[in-house]
Amino acid sequence: MRRPIIAGNWKMYKTLSESLELVENLKLSCSSVSDRDIVVCPPFMALAVVAQAIKKSVLKLGAQNLHWEKEGAFTGEVSAKMLADVGCAFVIIGHSERRQYFGETDDTVNKRTKAALAAGLTPIVCVGETLSEREANRAFEVIERQMKNGLANLSVEESQKIVIAYEPVWAIGTGKTASPEQAEEVHRFIREKFSALYGASAAAGLRILYGGSVKPDNVKSLMAQGDIDGALVGGASLKADDFAKIVKY
C-alpha cells in the first residue's frame, strides 16, 4: 500500500507573516490526519520560519528547487545540504515553470535529483507534456524522455526514494484538470516505464502525484484512480481551507 502525499507548491507567493498564518491554520485543520504525508513547499525565504512553526505537527517541509553542487561560487543558488539543514524532507525538481522560464533541462533535473538523494531529501520530480505535445500525440514520448534522462543512472536503492509528479502543462493554473481517466492513463504509463528502468518492485512502491488544477471538488475522483498516489497542488494550496479539504479528500 503506497502512502498518499498531498503537497502544496506555493510558488512565488506568501511573505513570512502570510506563510505563518497559512501553516498555523493548516496545523489546526490537519492535526488528526495521520495516514498520508502532508507537505508544504514555501519559497526559500520562508523555509526557516515555517520549519520552526511546523515542528511537532503532521506537516512536512519541502523546497521548490535546489542546486546540484555541494557549495561554491553560485550566486543566488541554494544547495541540498542547506535544505536538509533547514528542515526540508522533500524538494520539487524540474517543475514545468522552471523548464519553461529558467532553462531547466532533463540533464539538470538529473543532477538536481542525484544531489537531493545524496543529501537525504526526497525528490519530487515533475514530468508532463505541453498542450501542443498532447495535440501532436507526443505526450507519452515526451514523458518517457523526461523520465529516462531526468532519472538516469540512479541505483535501485535511490530509485525507491523518488516521487514523480505528473503535471500536464496545459492543466497548470488554467482551471483545466486532466480527467481522472486521462491522468490515470499517464500514471499507469509512468509506472510501466519506471518498472522497465528500475524493476517491478521499485515501480510498485513508486508514488506518482498528479498536479494541475487540483481542487477540493475534483481531488476525490483523481485519488480514486489506482495509479494516482497523491496531488501536487498550486493555487488551491495557498488557502488553508481549500488545501485542508484536499488533504482530507
Residues binding ligand 13P (CB under 6 A): 9, 95, 167, 172-173, 211-214, 232-236
Gap between the Cα atoms of 206 and 194, Å rounded: 8
Count the alpha carbons within 13 Å of 24 in the hemisphere toward its beta carbon. Answer: 7
Choose, from 67, 95, 97, 184, the residue flagged as catalytic.
95
Rounded to a whole number of angstroms, the minimum distance from the CB of residue 95 to ligand 13P is 6
Tracing cell 498550486 back to the chain, one arrives at 234
Choose, from 97, 129, 133, 167, the residue flagged as catalytic.
167
Gap between the Cα atoms of 115 and 108, Å rounded: 11
Count the alpha carbons within 13 Å of 200 in the hemisphere toward its beta carbon. Answer: 0
Q: Are the beta carbons of 23 and 52 closer than 8 angstroms?
A: no
Q: Are the beta carbons of 127 and 167 closer than 8 angstroms?
A: yes
Gap between the Cα atoms of 121 and 222, Å rounded: 26
Rounded to a whole number of angstroms, the minimum distance from the CB of residue 7 to ligand 13P is 8
Residues in the chain: 249
**Residue 95 annotated as catalytic:** yes
- 10 versus 68: smaller Cβ distance to ligand 13P: 10
- 166 versus 194: smaller Cβ distance to ligand 13P: 166
**Residue 67 annotated as catalytic:** no
Rounded to a whole number of angstroms, the minimum distance from the CB of residue 236 to ligand 13P is 6
Rounded to a whole number of angstroms, the minimum distance from the CB of residue 134 to ligand 13P is 16
- 180 versus 234: smaller Cβ distance to ligand 13P: 234
CA-to-CA dists, residue 57 to 26, 28, 62, 106, 245, angstroms: 10, 9, 14, 35, 18
- 55 versus 220: smaller Cβ distance to ligand 13P: 220
List residues with catalytic annotation.
Answer: 95, 167
